[in-house]
Amino acid sequence: MRVAFIGNALPRRCGIATFTTDLELAVSALPDIAESAILAMRDPGGDYLWPANVARGIDQNDPAQYRAAADAINAAGYDVACLQHEFGIFGGEAGCLILDLIAGLTMPLVTTLHTVLDRPSPAQRVVMEAILAASARVIVMAQKGRSILIETYGADPGKIRVIPHGIPDEPFAASDAAKQRLGFAGRQVILTFGLISPNKGIETMIEAMPAIVARCPDAVYVVMGATHPHLLRDAGETYRLGLMDRVEAMGLGNHVVFLNRFAERPELLDHIAMCDVYVTPYRDEAQMTSGTLAYAHGLGRAVVSTPYWHAAELLGDGSGVLVPFDDGPRMGAAVADLMVDGPARQIMATSAYIASRPMIWAHGAQRYAEAFRDALRSPVGTRLRAGHAAPIAPSILPLPATSNRHFKAMCDDTGLFQHAIRSIPDRRHGYCVDDNARALLLCIKPNNRLDGAVALAAHFASFVQHAWNPDYRRFRNFMSFDRRWLEPAGSQDSHGRTLWALGVCAASSDPALAAWATDLFVEALPTVLEFTAPRSWAFALLGLDAYCPTHPGDTVADAIRHRLAGRLGRLLRDTATDQWPWFENRLTYDNARLCEALIRTGGRIGDAAMLAAGLASLRWLLAMQTAPAGHFRPIGSQGFVLAQRTPLPFDQQPLEACATVAACLAARRHDRGELWTSSAHQAFAWFLGENDLAVPLVDIESGSCRDGLHPDRANDNRGAESVLSYLLALADMRAMARYGPSSPTPPESPPDKVPLDG
């Protein structure tokens, strides 16, 4: 693709310029972006030495230049135009001159709205509604913006994407070294940065400083940033000088420092790194985005803020502190509490850093690229670009058709073979209940689209029944090709996976299948209480999540559900640290199933703390499973222990992508964040070639899936676990796709309505 960005650009000194420049740089680094450039707005009196990525300047108040810019974009053959909209940067009433430019474009428009007003003036409403009508896709940086667009402007929900403000990908670091470099050694530093103007609420922090200094005598408040250009043009430095006079009158000269300059990124990041607490005491609730807040949060700083829209949404998970507007005493108390409590400050900083990993520019650029491709495939894009074939990434291709040709080839009249040599079933290793239970689960899963799913379900149910050993009250696992069981009892995980399949079967709409599964589930369930393997608990909980709603009178099953969930929750609380919020001291296999079990159980039983813990652990896992380039990189089969700096990337297994898709689907039912949808697409795209080797794992025609990725090649064997992982993930992606990329996914079909064949 070739993308033209329209907005401000560095070296102009404003947040939109920084954002547009960073976005263009991140998008241009993607492998499927052939070219990108910025058409930069020039404010009155502005005279900028544009860098090479700025193709053209547009004088803010010259109507002819807007029309000429549209002609230039069309002539250059760009595939998509991306407008960065803020009312104050375009000419005419409410910035209406930009409408001339977008009306002249012959390619789809994707608009980022940096401000979304809930009480627009009549002129602002006209401009906003025109932009919404002209845009194939609209991007906002917070869910609040999406809500206002729908409720206030009647925007089409299907057009809107939520992509958080991007942040640089910097390591998490203590503040001491940066303080030493910048001359603040031995001080506890509070920081505000950005263009200075009255709406930033700096007076509130100055008012709070005496109370902070009383508890922290070495505290210093650093106000870093130049006066806003518009304020400087109209009133000079009167406002800043007034703030400085107030500081002196209060005797705070040694505790408040003004750094009057627009910091370039290296200096800015250095100053954020030195602060102990970052504050945004803004005075206006209706602030949809704050790049300064996003940067500080992303670098892992403890944040105290007033509850303007962006802050309320970003810090609502506890990764910062919110205080009322214009309340100096409350602001001072919150900052001082963090200054004197180092461990609490460290926990908050670590939480912020972990929570912000999906916001790094590389990830945001991928999401923008998906929005661009989506725009090209929209009715507007199809109409404008008729005859132009745009590249479509696997992550947003129409989902592949379901083929169970290879799946059936892997079966005989006993069950599903474990392994294959290339695509040929390997009889030497026989069968296992692990795979046959998951095959049963696939056959009764909604949206499976398998030919003959009813007959196949009965086939795998027979294998599961035969695997039950009543003498040991355990399921056998491994069976040889000549139908000899190779052990009296299988692993704890295989028992848990079988319970999972039985629990879902017990909720089937087929009375005979449900009755059989219920009897065996009830008989085999209590054994899981003896187990010590966390994944066996998680698999059993997934089965209980389906079983309990259709068997409300089974108090034993309900009690076991609560006990297993309690164990899993305690394991997370007891093992997790600030930098390692996980259930164990290593990541191994099927990791996302642990998160999914807490999410599903917490949501089902109404335990908000359990649900939140599951969502938080999944957010962290998603960050660990994302490569620097933005694609899915599952934890390799060699695992990842706490002492390692980065996960070992190979060998990569289909099981992890499948589990991640399922966990994201479960999370989306309880949280409307865009992270879950985009991460599910990202994980599923791994099967289709968006991976470290750019190699497709799946043969769509046969439905086969390779066994994984080695460092230099794909494993060309196509065993049972791999094909099951692919087909289960495909069914889950169909469930997600039914409701569109932005809408919340409703609960699954009621358990007593689960169809046998989707």
Residue 652 belongs to some domain of the structure: yes
Identify the helix (H) or strand (E) that includes residue 224. strand 219-224
Residue 284 has pLDDT above 90, yes or no: no
Q: What's the gap between Cα 402 and its chain centre?
A: 27
pLDDT the model gives residue 103: 87
Residue 691 has pLDDT above 90, yes or no: no
Query: When comparing pLDDT for 400 and 629, which is higher?
Result: 400
Last residue of a domain, one of 384, 418, 446: 384
DSSP per residue over 128-144, as a string? HHHHHHH-SEEEESSHH
pLDDT the model gives residue 756: 29
Same-domain pairing of 636 and 742: yes
Identify the helix (H) or strand (E) that includes residue 4. strand 2-7
pLDDT the model gives residue 642: 53
Same-domain pairing of 105 and 181: no
What's the whole-number mean pLDDT along residues 697-707? 95
Looking at the structure of the chain, the number of domains it has is 3
Same-domain pairing of 620 and 730: yes
Residue 390 belongs to some domain of the structure: no
What's the whole-number mean pLDDT along residues 612-620? 95
Same-domain pairing of 116 and 211: no
Same-domain pairing of 509 and 378: no
Identify the helix (H) or strand (E) that includes residue 709. strand 708-709
Residue 234 has pLDDT above 70, yes or no: yes
Residue 586: strand pairing partners: 641
27-31, 231-235, 248-252, 645-649: least confidently modelled range: 645-649
pLDDT the model gives residue 388: 35
Residue 368 belongs to some domain of the structure: yes
pLDDT the model gives residue 627: 78
Neighbours of 577 (CB within 10 A): 11
pLDDT the model gives residue 638: 67
Amino acid occupying residue 144 = K
Residue 7 has pLDDT above 90, yes or no: yes
Please name which of 701, 706, 696 lies closest in space to residue 423, comparing C-alpha atoms.
706
Q: Residue 421: which pLDDT band, with cuts at 50, 70 and 90?
A: very high
pLDDT tens per residue, range 247-277: 999 999 999 999 988 777 788 888 999 999 9
pLDDT tens per residue, range 524-533: 999 999 999 9
123-137, 478-492, 605-619, 735-749: least confidently modelled range: 735-749
Q: Residue 538: which pLDDT band, with cuts at 50, 70 and 90?
A: very high
pLDDT the model gives residue 754: 30
pLDDT the model gives residue 628: 64
Same-domain pairing of 161 and 194: no
Which CATH number fits the domain that encloses residue 608? 1.50.10.10
- The first and second tokens of residue 378, run together, are 């929209």
Same-domain pairing of 420 and 326: no
What's the whole-number mean pLDDT along residues 383-393? 40
pLDDT tens per residue, range 490-523: 999 999 999 999 999 999 989 999 999 999 999 9
Same-domain pairing of 268 and 368: no
Same-domain pairing of 447 and 337: no
Residue 394 belongs to some domain of the structure: no
Q: Residue 384: which pLDDT band, with cuts at 50, 70 and 90?
A: low
Residue 90 belongs to some domain of the structure: yes
What's the whole-number mean pLDDT along residues 615-620? 95
What's the whole-number mean pLDDT along residues 178-184? 92
Residue 398 belongs to some domain of the structure: no
Q: At what angle do helices 453-467 and 433-443 cross, to 10 degrees?
A: 150
Is-cis flag, bond preceding 11, omega within 30?
A: yes
- Mean pLDDT over each residue of the chain, to the nearest integer: 89
pLDDT tens per residue, range 352-376: 888 888 889 999 999 999 999 999 9
Residue 160 belongs to some domain of the structure: yes
Neighbours of 685 (CB within 10 A): 21
523's CB contacts (< 8 A; 6+ apart) are 468, 470, 473
pLDDT tens per residue, range 29-66: 999 899 999 999 999 988 899 999 999 999 999 999 99
- Domain span holding position 706: 405-753
Which CATH number fits the domain that encloses residue 25? 3.40.50.2000
- Only one residue has tokens 């008989």, namely 523
Distance between CA atoms of residues 303 and 352, nearest Å: 9
What percent of the chain has a predicted confidence (pLDDT) above 90? 72
Residue 648 has pLDDT above 80, yes or no: no
pLDDT the model gives residue 475: 98
What's the whole-number mean pLDDT along residues 214-236? 89
User: 417-421 and 424-432: which strand pairing?
Assistant: antiparallel
User: ∠146-149-151 over CA atoms, to 5°?
Assistant: 105
pLDDT the model gives residue 746: 45
Residue 645 has pLDDT above 90, yes or no: no
Residue 109 has pLDDT above 90, yes or no: yes
Q: Residue 646: which pLDDT band, with cuts at 50, 70 and 90?
A: low
pLDDT the model gives residue 394: 33
Residue 395 has pLDDT above 70, yes or no: no
Residue 662 has pLDDT above 70, yes or no: yes
Q: Residue 669: which pLDDT band, with cuts at 50, 70 and 90?
A: very high
Same-domain pairing of 366 and 348: no
- The first and second tokens of residue 41, run together, are 């707005």
Q: Residue 80: which pLDDT band, with cuts at 50, 70 and 90?
A: very high
pLDDT the model gives residue 316: 82
pLDDT tens per residue, range 550-573: 999 999 999 999 999 999 999 999
Same-domain pairing of 370 and 441: no
Residue 309 belongs to some domain of the structure: yes
Same-domain pairing of 724 and 640: yes
- The first and second tokens of residue 541, run together, are 């909980």
CA dihedral in degrees (653, 602, 668, 703; nearest 10)?
30
